């Protein structure tokens, strides 16, 4: 990446030197390479251009260097009068001046119609917005306009070879005319929109809120890569009797949010969000602990509830940040005791056990079907934030052995591999192992990019669909790590395996991680894997009763409907 950027800069410097000394051949070669490389890096290696900008070699400076080199070549090789020299310098400069002013006016136009909010499933009615230039003109206004001066490079070579400045003047005039046309369009649009005032979008959103008066808000301020955390609460929130809305803060996350019937509002800017009147909202549900939660937490008339994105024995499930909420909702007694053991300042009286309303669709009967083989779901967690914790996930130390062992099992088992959405986002080792696992499944005639659970082939599922809970219903045996995947799978009452990459003694592991009390444990060498598959496949499963007891501990009483509990607690907060 750095080498590519350095080579590009080198060719620009060669152009500059060659233009100064009138070395036409060297200028032509360096100019061609620089222009082609500029476009190539922009398309195939944007990280290289980003690095150049970080060290101060912005795109505009590189364009200016190109234009200066072209002018120097003509000056060195073509005899010019004083008037011709003035025109030679003025024409490229006009393009730059027009570009600067057009870019400034384009920015002012954008601010008249700020994208202050994005909505889904909401009808805002007709919006009277300030005039906008054509999309193509808006796209090139600003520092893209001097790109037209690229015509000066071949024109300068032609002028130097002929010792006649005419080709350069013609190319420069074409660039000036084209730039002037764009500049004129931008200027006229700006003049038409004077006095437009504030953009209409945010006031329209406020009018909708005043009319709809939502009582419950599912609030998510995380980035797009974490949007799965909000997705898992969409269906339970849709099922509420109270009027509900999804409030988001990231445009990218808004675009990645799963399909929902709920009205969705995204207001990225903190000032804009805090200017909204949200007084009708009685209960705000938070799926993630992020800094921008403060913009919603400041609403005094709202009860703020942390619902999280899954109960697990990991340390992240008892974040001290949770003290800022009025209540913390957990699935069962395990969650309550987890906070008590952690001692992070969350009062026991602020913890409410509601079960897991997302699990209503997880079948609690056998998954095996005559239409497909015994199915194993391998769903490892991601590598986590701590550099010094190699045991956070089984993927790096055990993943390949697990997958290859399952693929080699006889009689054949069907493997579904569904890694955590953040897998490989921080650790290169995890990303490399993940890629090797995908290759192994592909080599076994599996589908490396599955979007459906149909058929009997091995599957790799990395997209939003099929959802994890849909995979549960196709699973006879789960292999996972210490994570909320295990807690949720206990709802199915089917056997599961928890990886023990650290090699902790069995008693200590089950004591430290209560979700593993009813699990088969898998050591780093995976020596137990064949036997576990054989025992659970035959139905001779000694952990059945342990799973029944653990389900009550993790998820609440079996007879309680978690969606009913969720509705009851929401109603309590709203009334």
Tell the CATH superfamily of the 362-555 domain. Glycogen Phosphorylase B; (3.40.50.2000)
pLDDT at 387: 54
DSSP state of 259: P
The partner residues of 497 in beta bridges, in order of sequence, read: 479, 520
Q: What are phi and psi of 219, to 5 degrees?
A: -105, 130
Q: How far is CA 91 from CA 99, 150, 158, 231, 414, in A?
A: 13, 13, 17, 55, 69
The partner residues of 264 in beta bridges, in order of sequence, read: 120, 246
CB half-sphere exposure, 159, CA atoms < 13 A: 29
Which string of b and e fits 73-105 if b means at least 16 CB within 10 Å? bbbbbbeeeeeeeebbeebbebbbebbbebbeb
Question: Where are the domains positioned within the chain?
Answer: 2-114+132-192, 213-355, 362-555
Tokens 């060659």 correspond to what residue? 18
pLDDT at 128: 67
Other beta carbons within 10 Å of 548: 13
The rounded distance, in Å, linking the Cα atoms of 179 and 141 is 9
Transcribe 171-216 into DSSP letters: HHHHHHHHHHHHHHHHHHHHHHTTT--S-SHHHHHHHHHHHH--SE
- Among residues 306, 292, 295, the alpha carbon closest in space to that of 354 is found at 306
Alpha-carbon torsion (74, 75, 81, 83), positive or negative: positive
User: What is the token pair recorded at 262?
Assistant: 């709920």
Transcribe 362-408 into DSSP letters: S--S----TTS--EEEEE-----S-TT-TTS-SIIIIIHHHHHHHHT
The partner residues of 305 in beta bridges, in order of sequence, read: 285, 327
**CB 369, CB 468: distance < 8 Å:** no
Residues contacting 354, CB < 8 A, separation 6+: 329, 330, 331, 556, 562, 565, 566, 569
**CB 518, CB 486: distance < 8 Å:** no
Domain 213-355 and domain 362-555 have a common topology: yes
pLDDT at 3: 79
DSSP state of 414: E
- 3-class SS letters over 24-50: HHHHHHHHHHHHHHHHHHHHHCHHHHH
- What CATH topology corresponds to 213-355? Rossmann fold (3.40.50)
What does the pLDDT look like over 104-134, one tens digit per residue? 998 888 777 667 889 999 998 776 667 788 8
Residues contacting 467, CB < 8 A, separation 6+: none
Mean pLDDT by 10 residues, the chain (575 residues): 79 91 92 86 77 80 91 92 90 93 87 81 80 85 87 93 93 94 92 70 92 97 92 95 97 94 96 94 96 95 92 72 94 90 90 90 64 89 68 87 94 94 86 95 94 92 88 94 90 94 91 91 93 89 89 83 92 94
User: What is the token pair recorded at 352?
Assistant: 């409410």
What does the pLDDT look like over 57-92, one tens digit per residue? 887 888 999 999 999 999 999 998 888 899 999 999
Residues contacting 116, CB < 8 A, separation 6+: 199, 201, 202, 267, 268, 269, 272
- Among residues 117, 90, 269, the alpha carbon closest in space to that of 172 is found at 90
């Amino acid at each position: 990446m750095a080498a590519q950027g350095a080579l590009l800069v080198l060719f620009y410097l060669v152009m500059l030197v060659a233009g100064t000394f009138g070395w036409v051949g060297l200028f032509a070669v360096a100019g061609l390479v620089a222009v082609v490389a500029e476009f190539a890096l922009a398309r195939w290696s944007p990280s290289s251009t980003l690095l150049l900008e970080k060290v101060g070699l912005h795109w505009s400076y590189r364009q200016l260097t190109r234009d200066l080199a072209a002018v120097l070549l003509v000056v060195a090789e073509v005899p010019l009068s004083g008037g011709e020299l003035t025109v030679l310098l003025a024409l490229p400069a006009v393009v730059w001046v027009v570009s600067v002013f057009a870019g400034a006016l384009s920015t002012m136009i954008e601010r008249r119609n700020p994208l202050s909010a994005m909505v889904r499933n909401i009808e805002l009615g007709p919006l009277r917005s300030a005039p906008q230039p054509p999309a193509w003109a808006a796209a090139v206004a600003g520092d893209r306009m001097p790109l037209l001066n690229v015509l000066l490079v071949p024109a300068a070579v032609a002028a130097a070879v002929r010792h006649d400045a005419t080709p350069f003047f013609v190319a420069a005039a074409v660039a000036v005319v084209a730039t002037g046309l764009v500049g004129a369009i931008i200027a006229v649009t700006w003049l038409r929109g004077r006095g437009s005032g504030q953009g209409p979008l945010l006031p329209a959103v406020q009018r909708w809120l005043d009319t709809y008066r939502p009582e419950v808000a599912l609030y998510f301020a995380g980035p797009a890569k974490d949007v799965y955390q909000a997705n898992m609460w969409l269906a339970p929130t849709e099922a509420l009797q109270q009027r509900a809305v999804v409030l988001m803060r990231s445009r990218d996350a808004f675009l990645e949010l799963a399909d929902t019937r709920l009205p969705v509002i995204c207001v990225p800017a903190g000032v804009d969000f805090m200017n909204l009147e949200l007084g009708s909202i009685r209960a705000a549900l938070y799926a993630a602990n992020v800094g921008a939660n403060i913009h919603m937490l400041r609403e005094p008339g709202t009860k703020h509830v942390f619902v999280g994105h899954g109960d697990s024995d990991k340390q992240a499930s008892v974040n001290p940040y949770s003290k800022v909420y009025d209540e913390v909702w957990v699935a069962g007694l395990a969650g309550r005791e987890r906070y008590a053991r952690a001692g992070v300042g969350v009062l026991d009286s602020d913890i409410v056990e509601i079960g897991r309303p997302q699990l209503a669709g997880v079948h609690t009967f056998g998954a095996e079907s005559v239409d497909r083989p015994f199915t194993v779901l391998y769903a490892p967690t991601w590598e986590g934030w701590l550099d010094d914790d190699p045991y956070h996930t089984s993927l790096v130390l055990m993943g390949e052995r697990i997958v290859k062992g399952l693929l080699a099992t006889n009689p054949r088992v069907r493997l579904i591999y569904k890694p955590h959405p953040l897998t490989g986002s921080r650790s290169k080792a995890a990303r490399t192992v993940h890629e090797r696992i995908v290759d192994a499944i592909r080599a076994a005639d599996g589908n490396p990019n599955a979007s459906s659970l149909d058929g009997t082939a091995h599957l790799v599922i990395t997209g939003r669909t099929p959802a994890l809970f849909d995979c549960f219903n196709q699973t006879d045996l789960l292999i996972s790590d210490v994570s909320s995947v295990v807690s949720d799978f206990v709802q199915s009452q089917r056997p599961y395996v928890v990886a023990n990459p650290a090699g902790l003694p069995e008693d200590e592991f089950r004591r430290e991680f209560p979700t593993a009390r009813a699990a088969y444990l898998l050591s780093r060498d995976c020596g137990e894997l064949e036997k576990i598959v054989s025992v659970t496949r035959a139905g001779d499963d000694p952990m059945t009763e342990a799973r029944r007891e653990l389900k009550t501990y993790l998820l609440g009483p079996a007879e309680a409907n978690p969606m009913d509990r969720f509705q009851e607690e929401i109603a309590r907060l709203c009334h």
